[in-house]
Amino acid sequence: MFTVGKFYQIGDCPLSCCIKALRLIMAALSPVAFHSFGTSHQIVLGVFLLTAITLILLTRVGVLRVVRPLELTLALLLLLEWPFNLWVAWQYEMLQPSNVLPLHLCDVAAFLGALALIKREPEVCELLYFWGLAGTLQGLITPALTAEWPHPRFVMFFVLHCGVVLAALQVVLGRGITPRRGAALRAISWLAVYAAVAGTMNFLLRLVGCKANFGFLCEKPPTASLFDYLGSWPWYIGAILPLAWVFFSILDLPFLILRRRRG
């Protein structure tokens, strides 16, 4: 049993009180570990597929009065995910470089997703398409996650990953902003820039004793993933860009054929 007085103090904002209450509830529950393709994961994937199909179909048939508010809502969720994640980490006393700085690839993709939905610039949409479907989609299928529903970490993880992939599918398949000639090469170039920035930040933070692993460049994810098939550290790092180029080429292939047919 717990009472309101144990977590509410004068001056606390409603969100803080809700999080404190949730912490007490979660502490009272038996901890349950997340399992890939368990019930909660399957439900998330099913809801995601249904949402993606519905949004794309609504866009294709021209129901833009409904679609535009949904796009802007999704963009807002993607923009708010990092601040909310930061707030919850603070409340749970789990602040560390890995969740203070939005430098994981999926964090950057979330900002790209919001910008693509709001502005619909071809350059941003192309980059989101390749990064979202080649990178974030893998995180959606093989989540680097240990917290189970209804833990806030579970919720934020899937809001981020589902949101990025949904935004990528929407701008390309729904809005028809397809990759142009050379888009895959530009995407791999920006990925190399990201890797350089993430690697530099990892190095600097570890110099001062902070554990950072942006881009999973210092160690593999703690859960099963594609990285497990690329060898041990540091050898798997050398395989990331070539493998990404393979994925990007496959993703670009339908549009390459379409561009050639159009001349």
pLDDT in tens, 150-173: 888 899 999 999 999 999 999 999
User: 130 and 14, same structural domain?
Assistant: no
In the predicted model, is pLDDT for residue 91 greater than 90?
no
In the predicted model, is pLDDT for residue 115 greater than 50?
yes
User: 105 and 42, same structural domain?
Assistant: yes
pLDDT computed for residue 262 by the predictor: 84
In the predicted model, is pLDDT for residue 231 greater than 80?
yes
pLDDT computed for residue 51 by the predictor: 97
User: 13 and 75, same structural domain?
Assistant: no
User: 96 and 20, same structural domain?
Assistant: no
User: 201 and 107, same structural domain?
Assistant: yes
User: 22 and 105, same structural domain?
Assistant: no
What is the arithmetic mean of pLDDT over 212-222?
A: 91
Q: Residue 99 belongs to what domain range?
A: 31-262
User: 5 and 126, same structural domain?
Assistant: no
User: 241 and 130, same structural domain?
Assistant: yes
User: 98 and 19, same structural domain?
Assistant: no
In the predicted model, is pLDDT for residue 47 greater than 90?
yes
**24 — pLDDT class (breaks 50, 70, 90):** low
User: 178 and 243, same structural domain?
Assistant: yes
**12 — pLDDT class (breaks 50, 70, 90):** low
Higher pLDDT, 95 or 187: 187
Q: Which of 33-42, 65-74, 164-173 has the lowest mean pLDDT?
A: 33-42
**20 — pLDDT class (breaks 50, 70, 90):** low
Domain count, the chain: 2
In the predicted model, is pLDDT for residue 66 greater than 90?
yes
DSSP the chain: ---GGGT--TT--HHHHHHHHHHHHHHHSPP-B--TTSHHHHHHHHHHHHHHHHHHHHHHTT-HHHHHHHHHHHHHHHHHHHHHHHHHHHHTT---HHHHS--SHHHHHHHHHHHHHHH--HHHHHHHHHHIIIIIHHHHHS----BPTTSHHHHHHHHHHHHHHHHHHIIIIIS-----TTHHHHHHHHHHHHHHHHHHHHHHHHHTT----GGG-SS--SS--GGGGS-STTHHHHHHHHHHHHHHHHHHHHHHHHHHHH-
User: 69 and 11, same structural domain?
Assistant: no
